[in-house]
Amino acid sequence: MYYTAPGHRHVQVLVPQLNRSPAVLGRLIQARNSGSAAPPPNAAAEVEPVVAEALNAALSKHRATSMMAWRFAPAVRAHIRARQHAAALTNAPTSTAPAADRLQVVTCHAREGGEFFGTVETQDGTRRAYAAKICDGKLVSFKVL
């Protein structure tokens, strides 16, 4: 499936589908994190590309709406637009350049049925929780808390 390249609005990257269920992915992430060698403190947790794209769109300053119509359900697009609108009201934009801040996925957990949840840290140090549900490669539910 094609996903928007981080930091580029109109460049897409092909990410092959894995034949693993979300529960298997969650167990792999937990097994990796509970191994004998502790992961470095700045290591990013693995997250589905469509969830990462939604997090970048919801928490960054640029509008990434051009490529999300077919991957995100209408409720997800509405939530992202509401967060972008609220951010635009609190922080007046100074330029039209893409945002320089990057997100770091601190935790990512997977459940049966394509449910993902975890924590994201922005460059300014604020942490936000997120919850998402994926069905057939499409993000059908997404919230940043």
Domains in the chain and their CATH numbers? Answer: 20-144 (3.10.450)
Q: Is residue 114 packed enough to be buried (19+ CB in 10 Å), middle (13-18) or exposed (0-12)?
A: buried
- Predicted confidence at residue 13, as pLDDT, reads 65
pTM of the model: 0.62
Contact (CB, 8 A) for 139 and 54? yes
Contact (CB, 8 A) for 139 and 133? yes
Tokens 């097994």 -> residue: 31
What is the mean pLDDT for each group of 10 consecutive residues in the chain (145 residues)? Answer: 62 63 55 49 63 83 63 87 82 47 83 89 86 89 90
